[in-house]
Amino acid sequence: MKSIAALQNLVTPWSDGLEPSDAELDAIEQEMPLILAERDLLDAQIMTLDRMPTEVDEQRLRRACRQVLAARTALENRAAHLPSSGDAA
């Protein structure tokens, strides 16, 4: 049996452009609190899809919404304090 593993580079050559850049990784790291808060909100919403929400479910949803809003606010405040690259000095 002949293996085609040696021919793989000819079929699908590796491109260096497939990995995220350091700037993209930094941007993801900055947005991670918002990403996690949105994930928690989605989890809370999914739990209430097939049943009537209990008081605990409603509390979980409200808490998750507050966390998303707080994370968005913090992200926007952080972005507002960054120097813009288009300033003319």
pTM, full prediction: 0.68
pLDDT score recorded for residue 83 = 72
Q: Identify the residue with better confidence: 81 or 83.
A: 81
- The 3-state secondary structure of the chain reads CCCCHHHHHHHCCCCHHHCCCHHHHHHHHHHHHHHHHHHHHHHHHHHCCCCCCCHHHHHHHHHHHHHHHHHHHHHHHHHHCCCCCCCCC
